[in-house]
């Protein structure tokens, strides 16, 4: 359940929102919330509930408060009583600005700030919960359901901490291109039937050495994916479904990159950077 005066992109059309997590929570799952916070807000909260009853247990109560002593409060509600609060004083949210939050269950995630929230044990699940907050690197408005092939200029160019969020169904190819030279700094191509995710660059008309090694391949035919691509000083870092997938060292100056392309037999629901 999500309560508070938030305007959340893509999925939630009205607040408060209450909806099921089909199949329940399990290790490795992530819950993504993106939205904007009104300037005059005092607080909002997100609850992971064990059932739809108003008096039922709450595994995680996540409550940013803008009350002069800005903080994020975490708690659990069990057997009719609240447990001891945990507080984070280094407030990662700013009233009047957009935000992105990832709630990961028993797995690390790729945000700029990460907090081990609490070990929650109860009737609904037992897991270590982690939250990642990211407001940097996402400056533009989201693009919903773009036609494919999709191509767009990267306004302001590429820079460190620039982050790209792409959500859709595989297979597909993502290219980061320098339009002036035609060079491709990063070509990312999940090949579902081969069980590979190919990474490469194309500079001066020639393809470089492919990188294929992965400990796991999260892409499946026709399945939804949530991908975050973050540009660093030395490399791209790529996360899929809340898990770090691979790094790709820069083979050319990332400052030359000014275009994002998405191609292939893919349905794209959401792009933001």
The Cα-based distances of 265 to 34, 239, 259 in angstroms read: 27, 21, 20
Which of 46-50, 81-85, 117-121, 129-133 has the highest average model confidence (pLDDT)? 81-85
SS (H, E, C) the chain: CEECCCEECCCCCCCCECCCCCCCCCCCCEEEEEEECCCCCCECEEEEECCCCCCCCEEEEEEEECCCCCEEEEEEEECCEECCCEEECCCCCCCCCEEEEEEEECCCCCCCEEEEEEEEECCCCEEEEEEEEECCCCCCCCEECCCCCEEEECCCCCCCCCEEEEEEECCCEEEEEECCCCEEEEEEEEECCCCEEEEEEEECCEECCCECCCCCCCCCCCCEEEEEEEECCCEEEEEECCEEEEEEECCCCHHHCCEEEEECCCEEEEEEC
- Distance between CA atoms of 91 and 66, rounded to whole angstroms? 9
Q: Of 210 and 107, which is predicted with more confidence?
A: 210
**pLDDT given for residue 146 in this prediction:** 86
Q: Are 200 and 132 in contact (CB under 8 A)?
A: no
pLDDT tens track for 223-241: 778 888 999 999 999 988 7
Q: What percent of the chain has pLDDT over 90?
A: 32
Q: In this structure, are 99 and 195 located in the same domain?
A: no
Q: In this structure, are 173 and 125 located in the same domain?
A: no
**pLDDT given for residue 59 in this prediction:** 87
Q: In this structure, are 95 and 193 located in the same domain?
A: no
pLDDT tens track for 163-217: 888 888 876 899 999 999 999 999 999 988 888 999 999 999 999 999 998 988 8
Classify residue 222 by burial, with Cβ atoms within 10 Å: 0-12, 13-18, 19+.
exposed
Q: Which of 88, 112, 134 is the last residue of a domain?
A: 134
Residue 111 confidence class, pLDDT cut points 50, 70, 90: very low
Q: In this structure, are 162 and 187 located in the same domain?
A: yes
Range of the domain at 148: 143-272
Summary mean pLDDT of the chain: 79
**pLDDT given for residue 51 in this prediction:** 81
Q: Using the predicted structure, report yes or no on whether residue 116 has a pLDDT greater than 50.
A: no
Residue 5 confidence class, pLDDT cut points 50, 70, 90: very low
Q: Which of 112, 134, 156 is the last residue of a domain?
A: 134
Q: In this structure, are 54 and 176 located in the same domain?
A: no
The number of distinct structural domains making up the chain is 2
Q: In this structure, are 171 and 63 located in the same domain?
A: no
**pLDDT given for residue 65 in this prediction:** 92
Residue 219 confidence class, pLDDT cut points 50, 70, 90: confident
Tokens of 27: 């290790």
Residue 9 confidence class, pLDDT cut points 50, 70, 90: very low
- Distance between CA atoms of 197 and 214, rounded to whole angstroms? 8
Residue 2, CB-side half-sphere exposure with 13 Å CA sphere: 18
What residues contact residue 48 under an 8 Å CB cut-off, 6+ apart?
A: 21, 25, 31, 58, 59, 60, 62, 103
**pLDDT given for residue 187 in this prediction:** 98
**pLDDT given for residue 202 in this prediction:** 98
Tokens of 210: 């492919």
Q: Which of 116, 134, 152 is the last residue of a domain?
A: 134
Where residue 94 sits, what CATH number does that domain have? 2.60.120.200
């Amino acid at each position: 359940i999500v309560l508070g005066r938030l305007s959340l992109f893509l999925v939630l059309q009205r607040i408060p929102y209450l909806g099921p997590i089909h199949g329940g929570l399990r290790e490795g799952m992530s819950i993504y919330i993106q939205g904007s916070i009104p300037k005059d807000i005092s607080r909002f909260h997100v609850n992971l509930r064990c059932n739809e009853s108003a008096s039922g247990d709450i595994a995680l109560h996540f409550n940013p408060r803008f009350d002069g002593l800005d903080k994020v409060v975490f708690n659990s509600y069990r057997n009719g009583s609240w447990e001891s609060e945990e507080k984070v004083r280094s407030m990662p949210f700013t009233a009047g600005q957009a935000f992105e939050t990832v709630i990961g269950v028993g797995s690390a995630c790729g945000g700029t700030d990460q907090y081990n929230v609490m070990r929650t044990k109860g009737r609904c699940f037992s897991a270590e919960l982690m939250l990642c907050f990211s407001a940097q690197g996402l400056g533009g408005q989201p693009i919903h359901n773009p036609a494919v092939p999709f191509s767009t200029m990267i306004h302001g160019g590429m820079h460190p901490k620039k982050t790209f969020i792409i959500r859709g169904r595989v297979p597909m190819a993502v290219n980061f291109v320098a339009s002036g030279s035609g060079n491709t700094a990063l070509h990312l191509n999940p090949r579902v039937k081969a069980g590979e995710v190919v990474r490469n660059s194309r500079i001066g008309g020639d393809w470089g050495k492919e990188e294929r090694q992965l400990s796991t391949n999260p892409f499946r035919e026709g399945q939804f994916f949530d991908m975050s691509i973050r540009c660093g000083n030395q490399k791209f870092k790529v996360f899929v479904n809340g898990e770090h997938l691979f790094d790709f060292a820069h083979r050319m100056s990332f400052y030359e990159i000014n275009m994002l392309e998405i191609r292939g037999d893919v349905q794209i629901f959401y792009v933001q950077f």
